[in-house]
Every structure is written in structure tokens, then in C-alpha cells.
Amino acid sequence: MVQQQVLYRALVSTKWLAESVRAQKVGPGLRVLDVSWYPPLQRNALQEYRERHIPGASFFDIEECRDQDSPYEMMLPSEEAFASYVGRLGISNNTHVVVYDGDDLGSFYGPRAWWMFRVFGHRTVSVLNGGFRNWLQEGHPVTSEPTDPEPAVFKAKLDESLLKTYEQMLENLESKRFQMVDSRSRGRYLGTEAEPDSKDLEPGHIPGSLNMPFTEFLTAEGFKKSPEEIQAMFKEKNVDLSKPLIATCRKGVTACHIALAAYLCGKPDVAVYDGSWSEWFRRAPPKLRVSQWKGGKS
């Protein structure tokens, strides 16, 4: 029973959301957010949203809803900034939030937005399983009509148990209390493959972290794999879901796929290292960076 509740809160199906759209349930009690983000020279997420999106969906600009003063790539905003931003999208503490993105994989930034709501104390948040890719493929309705919800009051409270800082990561190297899992590709983890779109960030990983590429949690069709399959994957990597776990990646985005995957297996307490490799590479001494990188252009 517990696992069924976790599954319901973590994922909703395209069929369920389509029925909610048809029944005109998208409103103060149910808000849908397009949280797509792409490298600037590849695709324009806001323009694509304006051209077509799920009826009733608002655009959640992850570039705007972050710490604008941080030197790192996608750090969390303050409680006040997050509350103000999502309140303008018509989201209150009583709203069920469904997030999706338009990535060809089926999901990329969706789990990041899911985790952001959770880390700021909001539990009724779900990811659209299969994403916009499958919404379109299944022929569900889309619109170009802008969504202008009534502003709401959202009160954010940071749940520090779901967040790790650089200093806490350093401490964990000594205490080894938390297992660490890196969600980047095998090559970037090892340091044999350059970090994309970065001139100064070399690849590699934090000592002691294991590698589980986030794409392996998705089916070829873009859906999340079953809890049974995910549990087998963690077991194969010797990750014990009964013990504390930290997820990391390059900038705290695909690490959230690890948190979501563990959540589907009944583990809701995975912490994400928000700065991830982007911060670690720039702050940690070279002896604390594991890499096979031999130089060249990143």
C-alpha cells in the first residue's frame, strides 16, 4: 500500500492527465507546469511552449527560478524567491503540481522541478510519466493559448535533509555515512568524455561515488522503468536503499532522476548535492577529483 501511494504521488500517467484536462480539472487545485530547458543554441523552450503545450499548463522557467548570483549553474533560489515565483503561477500549498518537459528522452528536467518543490516542503507534486513526447505521440490535446492563472500564496520551507552542500560533501568523504551515486554518462564520470558546452569544466567524479547514468532509468519509449527493475539496478550497483544516499551529477539536474527512482522504490529521503560536479571541480583540491582526463577541449 505504501509503495502504491508513493507511485501515485511521484508519477502520473498521460491518460490520467488527459482525463483531468478533459474534465477541466486544471485550476487552483491542479496546476501543470512545462519545465523544459535546452542549451540555447539547440532549442528554445519558451518559444516551443508558446507554440504548443498541454492545455492549462504554465511555463516554469528554470533559468529564472534559480540563484542568479551563484557562480554555479543551476543552484536553488532562496525560499522567498521560490515562493514568489510559483505563487505567480497560481500554486498554493494545497495545489497538486504536475511537471513535464519536452525532451526527446521523455524526461530530463521534470525530476529536477519535482525535487525543487519537495525540497521547499511541497509534497503533492508529480512528474508526467513519458513527458510531452508521449503526450504528443498518444494524440492528446495541445494548445497555443497562454495560461494566466490567478496568483496564489505559497509558503516555502527548505527541507535541509534533501539537500547537500559542498561542505557536507567534504565531511562525507571522512564519515562515509552517505552512499554517493553520480547520474552522468559513464565517460563523463570516468573523465574520458568531455563535459558538453563547457570550456573550463573537466570531467571526472567525486571520490567514492558510484555511477548510474540517469538514462538507464528510462525505457526506450521514454517512460520510467518499474520499481522492480529499478530495485534490481540499485542492487546490481551495490547501492543499499535502506541506507543514506546522495545523488550528484554535473549541476544538480539529472541527479534528481536518482532521487525519483529511489522514491519509486519507497525511499523518499535521497539528498541531492545541488552544486554537483560544477561546484566540486571548481572548489575541491585536485587530489579529491577522480578523472582519466588527458586534456584537450572540453
Count H helices and E strands in the chain, helices first: 11, 10
**DSSP-assigned letters across all residues of the chain:** -HHHHHHHHHEE-HHHHHHHHHTT--BTTEEEEE-----TTT--HHHHHHH-B-TTEEE--TTTSS-TT-SSSS----HHHHHHHHHHTT--TTPEEEEE---TTS-SSHHHHHHHHHHTT---EEEETTHHHHHHHTT---B-----PPP--------GGGEE-HHHHHHHHHH--SEEEE-S-HHHHHTSSPPTT-SS----B-TT-EE--GGGGB-TTSPBPPHHHHHHHHHHTT--TTS-EEEE-SSSSTHHHHHHHHHHTT----EEESSHHHHHHHHS-GGG-B-----S--
24 vs 51: which has the higher pLDDT: 51
Asked whether residue 14 carries a pLDDT value surpassing 70, the answer given is yes
pLDDT in the model for residue 197: 85
* Domains and their CATH numbers in the chain: 2-158 (3.40.250.10), 161-288 (3.40.250.10)
- Is residue 211 within 8 Å of 290, Cβ to Cβ? no
In terms of C-beta density within 10 A (0-12 exposed, 13-18 middle, 19 or more buried), how is residue 139 classed? Answer: exposed
The mean per-residue pLDDT over the stretch 6-18 comes to: 83
How far is CA 144 from each of CA 21, 53, 59, 140, 295, rounded to the nearest angstrom? 15, 6, 12, 14, 46
pLDDT in tens, 243-288: 999 999 999 999 999 999 999 999 999 999 999 999 999 999 999 9
More confident residue, 296 or 235: 235
Mean pLDDT of the region 224-242: 97
| pLDDT greater than 90 at residue 13 | yes
Instruction: Express each pLDDT in 82-134 by its tens digit.
Output: 999 999 999 999 999 999 999 999 999 999 999 999 999 999 999 999 999 99
**Between residues 134 and 297, the one the model is more confident about:** 134
Instruction: Kindly tell me the sign of the dihedral angle through the C-alpha atoms of 227, 235, 120, 2.
Output: positive
Residue 130 confidence (pLDDT): 98
Task: Give 27-74 pLDDT, tens digit per residue.
Answer: 899 999 999 999 888 899 999 999 999 999 999 999 999 999 999 989
In sequence order, the β-bridge partners of residue 146 are none
Which residues are designated catalytic? 249
Residue 7, pLDDT > 60, answer no
User: DSSP letter at 260?
Assistant: H
E strand map for 19-95: 30-34, 57-59
Q: Work out the pLDDT band at 3, boundaries 50, 70, 90.
A: very low
The string of pLDDT tens digits covering residues 166-222 is 999 999 999 999 999 999 999 999 999 999 988 889 999 999 999 999 999 999 999
- Determine the residue type at 116: M
Give pLDDT, residue 25: 87
